[in-house]
Each structure stands twice: as structure tokens, then as C-alpha cells.
Amino acid sequence: MKKGLIFLLGTVCSLLFFELYLRYARITPPILKYYDHDFGSQNRPYIHYMKSREGYFVGNTNYAGRFRENYSPLKDSNNVLRILLIGDSFVEGIDVLSVNHFAARLESDLATKFRRKVEILNFGRGNCTLYASSYYYINYIVKNYDADLVLYFTEARDITGWNDYPSTIFSLDSNNNLKPDFTWKNRFDYKIDLKVKSFGLFSDYEKSVYPSLVYRAISGIKMYGFLPTTFGKFAGEIPEQDYTPRKSEFNISNLSEAIFDTLPKAKPNTKFIYVVRNFPASSDQLITYLRTRKYDVIDLTDTFNYFYIKGTNTNAYYFKATNSYGGHWNHEGHKAVASFLSNRIFIDFSNYKMNTTSDEK
């Protein structure tokens, strides 16, 4: 009996110790996302995150689940130049250190050039492409955040509406008007999430290590299989990514057209610019469409010749830290993007009609 009590006490203390250690040791938690009833998958706020798949990143999310900065939704002064970045994992950029992300460099460069405070808020989320990011932008960001300039990053696959993000997206009704599509709510992991949270004791299970590990195991095995969930990248051979430059021709969907035409009008008195990426497929067709519609466009083919930074032999996708060719910009690529965007915004600001003059006397 005594030995049993000692064993039980030791087990409880060990579990409590590892719970507290894993919760407060500033390492990546088991669950990085949570489901918002209106918008779907969101980054969890106030979590610490480490990543070393391509480059190295160590950082944390703010109150709204954004990486790198902690600016409030509203500006504290008219003298602040506020820029919002909307896009996918290229914008989120958690493959490089924060100091090397193009947002940090762009913010510093523009503050020097305009001689005023500049705030850049990064709303990039991996795989959150046009159909999902536009819904979140129009129905949440526009309503809650001040902005003088919006840089909306897009690419060729947005023409057809490629989407791989468990989020509320736009679709078209019978009159070709935009409407929300909540298909993501049919996902098994979301249904399990609802069931777990229906028990009051586990309403915040994401914050506890053991319940979140159990949830991740159950949902992962059901959706992806036992071996991938258990062993991750060690479960099988990792397929080589194809980085061969290619030109692609798509028929632009009616839904993509409706979204592209709606986005610039969503936030009055805020300048809106499409920033077009030319990788993994050529975006010539998308650029032609946007310019035909008379929208402001920044073409990143002026910065990159597919993998290489123009005018150099530097591959913008090669990560020395892991000796790999990742699918995103390395620190040199971010530096090139920051420099290019800084020059374009500063040179063309009068055409953009932004409030770029200081209120200071």
C-alpha cells in the first residue's frame, strides 16, 4: 500500500513537472492553431515558436497571433505611417530571423526616408491564399485595423483559387455575389475540437500539454494516418520539390475576378497595392489582368529572376543554415524584397496619394 502511494505520488509529481516544464520552457507547444467560429484556423496568441525546417526562426506571436510585431489595431498618432501586409507563408516568413524579415528592413528604411514613425503589421499566414485571406481581410482586418497602405501579396495560383487552408473562404451565390463558405467546419479535427470544448474542464485544453497532445494524436491519425502523425518527416521518404521555372496559363475564375475587383474598395481612404510574386509559376497572366483593370501593381519579377536576385548570383531560396533549397525566401531574398519595396513606395508615394507627410511642426 505504501509503495503504491509513493508510486502514485511520484507519477503525479512527474506529470505535473513535465506539464509545467513544457508549458513554460519557451518551446513550441503541441498545438499552434485554434479554430475561430467565424474565420476558421488562426494562430494561437502568445505562443513561443521555433522552426528549423529551412532556415532558423525563434519567436513568438502577439495578442492577435501575428509574428514579429505587437502593434495595436489603432494608430496612436496621425504621424504614424501604417502599412498592412496580407499574404501567405512568404509574407509570414518564419524561415528567417525576425531582424532579417523584409518587414523589419522595410519599416526601418521607410522611417528613414519619410522621417516619421512607420508601423508594418504582418498578417501573412502559411497557405492562406486568395479565397481565404480575402475573406479574413474584408470581414475582420478592414473593420478593426487602421491602415494608410495595404500591400496584398498574390501569385498565379490565385487566378484559379488554389486553397489549402482550413478557413472561411469566399464563394459565389447564384447572382455572382461574394458569400462566405464554411466548408472547413466539416473537418474531423474541428468536430473533435468542439466536442472536447463542450466539457467545461477542457474548454482551454490547448493551453495544457497532455490534453493537446491527445487531441493532436486523435485528429492527426484520423486525418493523416498513424505513421505520418507519429513519426512526422521520418515516416517515409520526403519528396523532392520541383523548382524548375515554368510558365502556366490558367483560365481566371469568376470568383477570383470578383475578389480581385472587391479588395481595393474594401477600405476607403486606404491605398491598396497588389504585390505579385512570380514563383512557383510565372505570374505574367495575373499581372496583365490586374493592370488591365487599372489596379496598382508591384511586380516582384523586377527583383527576382525566379531563384536568383536580379543582377547577382545569389539564390534567394537556398538556406545555408540547413544546406537546403526551401520553398521560401532566405535572408538575402528578404533583403532584396525590402529594398525594392522601399524604393518603389518612396519614389511613387505621390502617385499612391498616401498621407506621408509628418504632422510635426
Instruction: Tell me the domains of the chain and their CATH numbers.
Output: 27-184+255-352 (3.40.50.1110)
Cα 42 from Cα 48, distance rounded (Å) = 15
For the ranges 9-23, 186-200, 253-267, the one whose mean pLDDT is highest: 253-267
Under the banding of pLDDT at 50, 70 and 90, the label for residue 212 is: confident
Residue 46 has what pLDDT?
93
Give pLDDT, residue 52.
83
| Alpha-carbon span 166 to 103, nearest angstrom | 26
pLDDT tens digits for range 94-126? 999 989 999 999 999 999 999 999 999 999 999
Number of Cβ atoms within 10 Å of the Cβ of 335:
19
In this predicted structure, the answer to whether residue 145 has a pLDDT above a threshold of 90 is yes
Q: What is the DSSP letter of 139?
A: I
Q: What is the pTM of this model?
A: 0.90
Contact between 329 and 306 (Cβ < 8 Å): no
Report d(CA 83, CA 61) in Å as an integer: 19
Cα 106 to Cα 302: distance, rounded to the nearest angstrom: 17
Which DSSP state fits 206? G
pLDDT tens digits, residue range 267-319? Answer: 998 999 999 998 767 888 899 999 999 999 999 988 988 789 999 999 999 99
Checking if the pLDDT of 153 tops 90, the result is yes
